[in-house]
Amino acid sequence: MQLTSVPSDQSAIRAETVAPLSFDQVYDAHFDYTYRVVVRLAGVAHAEDLTQEVFAVVHRRLGEFEGRAKLTTWLFQIAYRVVGAHLRRERMRQLLFGAADDEAVSASTSATALRGLERAEDSMALARALGRLAWKKRVVLVLHEVEEWSGEMIAERMGIPVATVWTRLHHARKELAAAVERELKRGAR
């Protein structure tokens, strides 16, 4: 059975369609979605490179897509694996070389800039706290809270029980709140 995309609903590419998918169709229709998933899982720093890695896998494996699930489900699974591998490599690199990537924020001393700086510091504290969550908890939290996926959808796409989704989400929220508080206190010093 051959596949095609449905222009009116980009995520509804399914097995019942008849023309083959081309890499260009998939890239054009789903680049923004894939980039957004990568940013939310890994942050902005390496998002472009990681998104391209995802599409390199898509290019190699597009013929294997059977259409049993939505194309976005398949893309998410690839992005999840690519980002996970990247984070493991980064963790190893940091352990081996002691490299820490610090983000710098600069602003003028005007009242507007100070408010912007405070928001940026809060955002950076949140990003650092999110980055400290265990990978599996972070993914569930981002998918549920940011992408607004249901617990059932997360369970299906990650291949885990729904109860596991809710447990990870509960612990992720709790750990994130504590980590943000620590980050903000650290920043206030």
- Are 93 and 170 in a shared domain? no
- Are 158 and 121 in a shared domain? yes
Kindly report the length of the chain.
189
Q: The pTM is what?
A: 0.53
CA distances for 32 relative to 10, 19, 28, 43, 189, angstroms: 12, 23, 8, 15, 39
The pLDDT, as a whole number, for residue 107 is 35
* Residue owning tokens 């549920």: 144
The more confidently predicted of residues 139 and 20 is 139
Say which residues have a Cβ less than 8 Å from residue 73's Cβ, sequence separation at least 6: 156, 157
The pLDDT, as a whole number, for residue 14 is 45
- Are 92 and 113 in a shared domain? no
- Are 146 and 83 in a shared domain? no
- Are 72 and 160 in a shared domain? no
Q: Is the pLDDT of residue 106 over 80?
A: no
- Are 81 and 2 in a shared domain? yes
Q: Look at the chain and report how many structural domains it folds into.
A: 2
Mean pLDDT across the stretch 118-133?
74
- Are 12 and 97 in a shared domain? yes
Q: What angle do CA 131, 90, 34 make, to 5 degrees?
A: 65
Mean pLDDT across the stretch 162-181?
91
pLDDT tens sequence across 43-77: 888 999 999 999 999 999 998 888 888 899 899 98
Domain hosting residue 185, numbered range = 108-189
Task: For residue 13, give the CATH number of its domain.
Answer: 1.10.1740.10
Across 19-33, 61-75, 82-96, 129-143, least confident range:
82-96
The pLDDT, as a whole number, for residue 50 is 95
- Are 52 and 91 in a shared domain? yes
- Are 113 and 79 in a shared domain? no
